[in-house]
């Protein structure tokens, strides 16, 4: 069960990393929130929304697929499914923190990851706090949702 969870988490991390790097490559402003209240959406804000949806879909899709896969191979209840789903998001956050944020973004700093008009964020603490928030504030409710959906609750 642990091996299957790790395989699913690594595959989810690869898909997530590919989506994030692709967005940075072809639309670097996709991670900048410039939606103002009371304004009509511009093509830029629509592209930002699509970028956000792609990132969320890659994470949730990986969580659901891995949880279903592990549940089909092993007899796990709601708690086991919750742990599998949460493990996927925690491992994904660690991969994002180490590979994308620290190694690629902070150390290598490719030019396509620079957002025009915004200073680079080379502060390790900022990225680490984001990983912890992603694993707890977003990860725990998402894992509960995935566990409920995959058990039919």
Average pLDDT over residues 4-32: 79
Give SS3 for 137: helix
Residue listed under structure tokens 């792609």: 54
- Checking if the pLDDT of 148 tops 70, the result is yes
Q: What is the pLDDT of residues 119-128, one digit of tens each?
A: 777 888 888 9
Q: What is the pTM of this model?
A: 0.75
**CA 29 vs CA 23, 89, 91, 130: distances in Å:** 9, 24, 26, 19
Query: Looking at per-residue confidence, does 68 or 43 come out higher?
Result: 68
Distance CA 3, CA 15 (A): 18
Short-list 88, 85, 100, 87, CA closest to 130 = 100
How far is it between the farthest Cα atoms of the chain?
A: 52
Residue 62 CB partners (closer than 8 Å, separation 6+)? 8, 9, 11, 12, 13, 15, 16, 88, 92
State the pLDDT at residue 33: 56
pLDDT single digits (tens) 62-116: 888 888 888 888 888 999 999 998 998 899 889 889 998 889 888 888 887 777 6
CA 153 to CA 71: how far, in whole Å? 14
């Amino acid at each position: 069960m642990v091996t299957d969870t790790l395989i699913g988490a690594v595959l989810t991390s690869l898909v997530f990393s590919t989506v994030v790097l692709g967005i940075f490559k072809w639309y670097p402003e996709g991670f900048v929130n410039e939606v103002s209240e009371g304004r009509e959406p511009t093509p830029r804000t629509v592209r930002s929304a699509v970028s956000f949806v792609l990132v969320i879909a890659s994470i949730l899709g990986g969580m659901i697929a891995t949880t279903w896969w592990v549940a089909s191979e092993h007899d796990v209840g709601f708690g086991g499914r919750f742990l599998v789903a949460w493990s996927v998001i925690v491992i994904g956050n660690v991969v994002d923190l180490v590979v994308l944020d620290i190694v690629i973004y902070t150390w290598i700093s490719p030019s396509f990851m620079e957002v025009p008009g915004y200073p680079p964020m080379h502060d390790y603490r900022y990225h680490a706090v984001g990983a912890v928030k992603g694993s707890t504030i977003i990860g725990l409710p998402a894992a509960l949702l995935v566990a409920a959906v995959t058990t039919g609750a």
